[in-house]
Structure 1
């Protein structure tokens, strides 16, 4: 049996007026049938229907009316109705049913995430069309995000993401260490298309917002333990504690470990995990009109690095280029045709083979640690106007050592250290309703500073330019003002307009060296010799970027359950500085912002007495100043530069549907991202033919069947996802070496609810078909002589047990 559950907010309850002793149904003009509902635990109402379950708004209002003064009514309710998938979201800074929001978005409730055994943000992409997440090639605890073809392909402090990540309204500028953010969450909202006229940072691709569960006035706790293959185990503890009238605390602790999914040539684990995550949230009602929420989190994670596989050698006369000469020297072979040919054959022997065994011999590792604090103040100035202040501070550091070739030879290795000094953000919003207008206005400020330090060694026996050290101190300051207004022009017809102006100050103080000698040209010089008179360490670069963003949309609710809309939006992603340069000023050049103007039409519908939900959106993006990076060989070794050498267009659609047939629910989605360059010219030639490095097609399919039993529900869940062919690094000369063919992944879960114990036991599996696929790749073909791949996760499975205590 499925249930639709709805909670009224404090404001909506208090607005119900009825004579003493009269049913609030009369005031709400809703007819009550006492025979169609019954009271459940914690003030819930169950309605029975042959094909679906419905709300009894009058019964809920009657039951909750005496509680209108309760302090912890949700001002941002996360309401999930599993049969109808009705989730109240705050995508537009007001509480709305997801079906009433005139943008393309996917909202997934916390219970749905648990049913799908979602363990990290990367897993969310399997249920969201046109969302593509990859592990970073240089940092296994970071993600590269792509949405509607807008992608970030570097995780440096000097490069901003094209998809914004928010956790409890705080913007996270770096995508590192977010794997554990999905424990004890209320919902995840994924908004597609340019953002920036409502809150936070400006982005071109979209935003992903994660909302954790708020504290409540019910004492309760839960404990969950799981164990699986690869010696995987996890413990999660949650406690909700009222601390007095109008004050409550919610605490979450999680620890997760598993052995490696692969191993290196020395038999050491690769792609293993050891992580800890802590979060606390304190919420207080300060009088009748002020709510304060203080949150804090800490996380720490480490592993031995990813499973690196040699993808192939550069197809030169003797395949392998400079890498082959390095191998020959390490093996003591002469640098003759015969010696190089032998070395090439030995190096090529590491291509292919067991996808979960890497030829890497040395120790590799990744360590990440971060903490954050936030203060969210909400002040109701009047019944129609409120003021909100969101303050946050985040700190992170990472230490990563990689051996980027998949062989036991010492061809190239690097250490990457990112001690971020911190990211401070402050946002003020004023929200209100005046007549037919609903509006929001605000300002945002973000101050970030940190250091990127990376010593690397490339071709140590062949080149004297070692070690090569990238050392940059980064300061990023962002300021913006924004506003958006929605006018109800007629019944069911709304016009929305919004604008934003952003100013981004970018500063880089760089002191890169080659073999211990300064490799930064002085001002006025195009190049230098390392340590020469024309070099300067440190050298400061600074610039300011600014740009407007805007949105105009029109939506019409033709009938209950049917919404159509059209939208035009302009998004902006700021520019920055290149910091990996050596000896030439080109390596320290700035790159400009990129912009996208998007045209979107769509509809949202609940059909056939709410048995079928069908949502559709189609879009066209005019994409300019596209930021792209490429690795090239220079006198100082291989260097990666970001520039704005491209313009393009992206078009596509998203289709999402949900069908309810009694106790069986079937959900599906598909997305098309057809992206092409109009012009892409670089120093290496015309690259307009390249792909965007994303799948053209994405799709997901989920089925859930619930067997109601007297002792508790027995539920079966099966989830599948599909990605079409992906050229993981499109700029690679031999792109076939780094192309992942189309593949599908299948996950499953069987759970049994034990009502008498208030507990649940489940068995689960991910990648049930044990599909071998490669998640990310790197192009070193032009500079070193080969490409490499990183293997995705194999089949995993396990069992979990969850026990609840009290009103959690």
Structure 2
């Protein structure tokens, strides 16, 4: 690694000297964002945010939120079992399918609260804005930790344009094609645009049993959009999109720490004992061993209609309505060995309807104001089955009455309906030409009704897609083994809150501004999708709230060739919704609780220097101090649970007060260098390199030291041959060239104490790409 760092430093020095010797003049591009629901320069928005353009998304082969994380300090995205991990500044929702995410995603203003949306392909995108910290005033529904705001490309009304892209990644044997075309059907009146993408990742983890590579993921996506100019002021747009992902072993787990450390013994366990008996390796690497049948399917569609009036000669108006549907299925062999010891499946169906209406002040108004209303109506059904084939050998003595019903499983279902309403507004008052203040207020109300049930059953297939409930008389007996108490529980959760925000912005000189902001955030309560006990009070959890403080500076310096932004923040969360996986000798379940308090504070800075049109040097860094302030009842590690049992204690909890939450490293960041060189009157050669890094952090809530991710460093690089007008390009793209092994998630292995299921994130990739613009 020292050699790599030295080479990177030498290369950067050479490029800087070349840039200083170049006479060409350059400037930092003006970036327009919609973080406050209207178009503004990024320097006028009192928020810590980063923006990735559509061109950068294509050039860097970014296909989902996971690909964005390395280039954005304090942002982490990775796959997990029943839901994905999405964290910003150490704030996220953990693994429970009943959660909406604390870091919400919005695509063209449409709320995507379920974590699986983070796997959606980013196709034909204008830009992605990643907003750090609470965003509840303008984005509302549950964006208490941050927001990903995606803006897709709109049709042109005056010319036909588009692009085509084809690439092949060698390590994962992944071909991808993407294209978009659009233009006027009626000149200056009606335009349409069609975009699509196909890719097929054929795996980067070797399954030593089947000989195949996992995960095998086939993605298809298509979008149609239209834009109608009704008059000089009024426009209407429509968007319809459909995506489908079919995969084998999408959550490719592997067994690690086998044999386990003392006091655990592999001779008394299932998965680890089997692995040792069959000489299965258990290192954290790009190998795994698992039987057939693992799969994952995502099918999603969305429709959006919007009508808007610009505010050039009167108030601006936006009215939009959307309908979204998503179906998700996952089956996983989580015992991490070919034998059938433990597996699960989960199915999730979502139907969502939203409406939003906004009115903004005229462009020439001295006071900038906005008022609006938002409505959401959603239905979610979640069905999870845990299968316990290993327990068949335990069906003796008092449990022998269950033997005819083996293999046992536990089936859990949640049907939830939500209706949410918000009203919001903001007012910006210019005290002087250089000092302005903004106040905002949002009222939000949510009502959720849910019916949740659990039952012990017989699994009719290895993954429990079909189950037969056990007779009622045998349910209590089975519960002794599985932990599932047969029940059906109904509940209603009603939450509402007023959320204020106030900010000041001061611009002492042109292109340099300072801001200070205070805001409150709110995330509605809900239901535990995998509650096993049937105790009514355990089904629902309370809303979480936050008070957030931020001060910062945004600037363009050195004749607008240098951009430098800095923010200092503190956010105090109360009743933070947290989930922790708990494992017994024969079962696995996830408990949900409200953490008393969490404080996350730190510094974020970014810089971009573009002294000429050939060279640029940039960097981002984040310093984070995130600590629980009141969390006395955290879930136990497997060792703590063992020690409690040995001591004859009933139950187990640990005090995590003063400890850090998952995905909260003390530091993270990157350095980026880019250079382009004309090599003839028609061609130019360009290259860019990014060195990204992170400190150590935990990946699960119980802070088991055996699953802690150490500090890591990665290097990405791109070399492109392009024509002078950027009409076409041929590129060689490498990511994670250091092949860092990064842990995306981990959990204890059921009935194999001291060993763990680990998910490794994608390692080194090398791809070639061709792109053509017209």
TM-score, structure 2 normalization:
0.85
SS of residue in 1 equivalent to 2:55: helix
Contact 2:574–2:595 (CA<8 Å) still a contact in 1?
no
Identify the match of residue 162 of structure 1 among 73, 95, 102: 102
Q: Distance in 2 between matches of 1:690 and 1:138?
A: 25
Unaligned runs of 5+ residues in structure 2 are: 1-21, 396-401, 459-467, 634-651
Cα gap change, 1:531/1:151 in structure 2, threshold over 3 Å: closer, same or farther? Answer: closer
Residue 155 of structure 2 corresponds to residue 215 of structure 1: yes
The answer to whether structure 1 residue 607 and structure 2 residue 557 are counterparts is yes
Matched, 1:679 2:630: yes
Which residue is equivalent to 1:368? 298
Q: Structure 1's 456 and 179: CA in aligned 2 closer, same or farther, altered over 3 A?
A: closer
In the aligned structure 1, how far is the partner of 2:471 from the partner of 2:372?
Answer: 41
Matched-pair contact (CA < 8 Å) for 2:238–2:304: yes
What is the rounded CA distance, in whole Å, between the counterparts of 2:275 and 2:265 in structure 1? 6
Is it true that 1:711 corresponds to 2:641 in the alignment?
no
Question: 1:152: which partner in 2?
Answer: 93
Aligned to 2:587: 637
CA deviations on 1:538-574 (whole Å, 9 max, x unpaired) are 4322121112222111110110110101111111111
CA contact (8 A) 1:429 1:442 kept: yes
Equivalent residue for 1:498? 440
Alignment partner of 2:282 out of 324, 349, 352: 352
Which whole-Å deviations, capped at 9, do the CAs of 1:60-81 have from their partners, x for residues lacking one?
Answer: xxxxxxxxxxxxxxxxxxxxxx
Residues 418, 703 of structure 1: alpha-carbon distance in 2 compared, 3 angstrom cutoff: same
CA distance in 2, matches of 1:783, 1:207: 38
Q: 2:253 aligns with which of 289, 301, 308?
A: 308
> Partners in 1 of 2:96 and 2:161 — Cα distance?
40
Residue 131 of structure 1 is matched in structure 2 by 75
- Tell me what 1:796 maps to: 765
What's the secondary structure of 1:740's corresponding residue? Answer: coil
User: Structure 2: how far apart are the matches of 1:101 and 1:574?
Assistant: 26
Residue 119 of structure 1 aligns with which residue? 63
| Cα displacement (A) at 1:505 | 1.1
Using the alignment, how far apart are the partners of 1:310 and 1:383 within structure 2? 64
TM-score by length of 1: 0.81
Structure 1 residues 536 and 411: alpha-carbon distance in aligned structure 2, compared to 1, 3 A threshold: closer
* C-alpha distance in 2 between matches for 1:473 and 1:397: 14
| Equivalent residue number for residue 389 of structure 1 | 319
Residues 633, 136 of structure 1: alpha-carbon distance in 2 compared, 3 angstrom cutoff: closer
For 1:380-432, what per-residue CA distance to the aligned partner results, in whole angstroms no more than 9, with x for missing partners?
47723122112111101111110113222323200111122x11111111111
Contact kept, 8 Å, 1:416 with 1:453, in 2: the verdict is yes
Q: Give me the CA root mean square deviation.
A: 2.8
In the alignment, the residues of structure 2 paired with residue 162 and residue 620 of structure 1 have an alpha-carbon distance, to the nearest angstrom, of 17
Other-structure match for 1:408 = 338
The equivalent of 1:542 in structure 2 is: 492
Write the mapping of 1:154-233 to structure 2, written as runs, cut at 5 A: 154=95, 156=97, 158-216=98-156, 217-229=158-170, 230-233=172-175
* 1:148-201 residue CA offsets vs partner (Å, 9 max, x unmatched): 121121251x21111111111111121324445422211111111211222442
1:666 counterpart = 2:617: yes
How many Å separate the matches in 2 of 1:310 and 1:697? 29
Kindly indicate whether the alpha-carbon contact (under 8 Å) linking 1:657 and 1:667 is maintained by their aligned counterparts in 2: yes
Does structure 1 residue 52 correspond to structure 2 residue 25?
Answer: yes
What are the equivalent positions in structure 2 for 1:465-480 lying under 5 Å apart? 466-480=408-422
Q: Are 1:750 and 2:723 matched, yes or no?
A: no
CA contact (8 A) 1:387 1:428 kept: yes
Q: How many angstroms apart in 2 are the aligned matches of 1:535 and 1:667?
A: 56
How many residues align? The count is: 699
Q: What does 1:582-661 correspond to in 2, within 5 Å?
A: 582-585=532-535, 588-633=538-583, 637-661=587-611
Q: State the distance in 2 between where 1:586 and 1:356 align.
A: 43
Distance change in 2, residues 1:585/1:637 (3 Å): farther
Aligned counterpart, 1:728: 699
CA spacing shift, 1:780–1:584, aligned 2, 3 Å:
farther
Residues 628, 642 of structure 1: 8 Å contact kept: yes
CA distance in 2, matches of 1:520, 1:94: 59
